[in-house]
Structure 1
Amino acid sequence: MLSAKSLFQEILDNDASFRLFCSIAASGEAQGGWENGRIAALVPQSQRALAPKIARHGADEDKHGRIFHALLRKRGLEPVPVPPDTDYTMLLERHGIGLAHDKLKADRPLTVDDIVTYLAHSRVTEQRASEQMRLLLGLFGDHPDIGRAVRMISHDEDNHLAYCHEELLRLAHAGHGRTIQRVLRECALAEIRIYRDVSLAVMAHMGRVLRWSRLRNALLAAGIHALYLWERVMGWRRMVTLEMPKRRDALGGPAPKAAEFA
Structure 2
Amino acid sequence: MLSAKSLFQEILDNDESFRLFCSIAAAGESQGGWENARIAALVPEESRALVPKIVRHGADEDKHGRIFNALLRKRGLRPVGVPRETDYTMLLERRGIGLAHQRLSREERLSERDVITYLAHSRVTEQRASEQMRLLSRHFADHPELGRAVRMISNDEDNHLAYCHEELLRLAEAGHGRTIQRVLRACALAEIRVYRDVGLAVMSRMGGILGWSRARSAALAAGIHAVYAYERLGGWRRMVSLEPPARRDALGGPAVPSPEYA
TM-score after normalising by structure 1: 0.99
2:132 partner letter: Q
The residue number in structure 1 matching 2:147 is: 147
- The CA deviation string for residues 136-164 of structure 1, in whole angstroms up to 9 with x for no partner, is 00010000000000000000000000000
Identity of aligned residues (%): 77
The residue number in structure 1 matching 2:224 is: 224
- The CA deviation string for residues 43-98 of structure 1, in whole angstroms up to 9 with x for no partner, is 10000000110010000000000000000000000000100000001111111100
The answer as to 2:233 corresponding to 1:233 is: yes
The answer as to 2:77 corresponding to 1:77 is: yes
The residue number in structure 2 matching 1:179 is: 179
Aligned equivalents of 1:213 and 1:259: distance in 2? 41
Aligned equivalents of 1:213 and 1:13: distance in 2? 18
The answer as to 2:28 corresponding to 1:28 is: yes
- The CA deviation string for residues 188-219 of structure 1, in whole angstroms up to 9 with x for no partner, is 00000000000000000000000000000000
The answer as to 2:89 corresponding to 1:89 is: yes
1:14 partner letter: N
Q: Cα distance, 1:258 vs. partner?
A: 4.7
Aligned equivalents of 1:154 and 1:256: distance in 2? 13
Aligned equivalents of 1:182 and 1:158: distance in 2? 24
Aligned equivalents of 1:100 and 1:179: distance in 2? 19
Q: Is the 8 A contact 2:44 2:110 kept in 1?
A: yes
Aligned equivalents of 1:23 and 1:257: distance in 2? 21
1:101 partner letter: H
1:29 partner letter: E
Change over 3 Å in CA distance of 1:83–1:257 after alignment to 2: closer
Q: How many residues align?
A: 262
Q: Cα distance, 1:100 vs. partner?
A: 1.1
Aligned equivalents of 2:43 and 2:253: distance in 1? 17
Q: Cα distance, 1:259 vs. partner?
A: 3.1
1:64-143 matches, cutoff 5 A: 64-143=64-143
Q: Cα distance, 1:256 vs. partner?
A: 2.7
1:244 partner letter: P
Q: Cα distance, 1:260 vs. partner?
A: 4.1
Secondary structure at the counterpart of residue 97 of structure 1:
coil
Aligned equivalents of 1:31 and 1:97: distance in 2? 15
The residue number in structure 1 matching 2:191 is: 191
Change over 3 Å in CA distance of 1:184–1:69 after alignment to 2: same
Q: Is the 8 A contact 2:63 2:258 kept in 1?
A: no
Q: Cα distance, 1:257 vs. partner?
A: 3.7
Aligned equivalents of 1:82 and 1:119: distance in 2? 26
5+ long unaligned stretches in structure 2: none
1:204 partner letter: S
The residue number in structure 2 matching 1:12 is: 12
Aligned equivalents of 2:259 and 2:28: distance in 1? 23
Aligned equivalents of 1:14 and 1:143: distance in 2? 16
Q: Cα distance, 1:255 vs. partner?
A: 1.4
Q: Is the 8 A contact 2:140 2:147 kept in 1?
A: yes
Q: Cα distance, 1:101 vs. partner?
A: 1.0
Q: Is the 8 A contact 2:93 2:99 kept in 1?
A: yes
CA RMSD of aligned residues (A): 0.8
1:126 partner letter: E
The answer as to 2:40 corresponding to 1:40 is: yes
Aligned equivalents of 2:98 and 2:196: distance in 1? 18
Change over 3 Å in CA distance of 1:16–1:240 after alignment to 2: same
TM-score after normalising by structure 2: 0.99
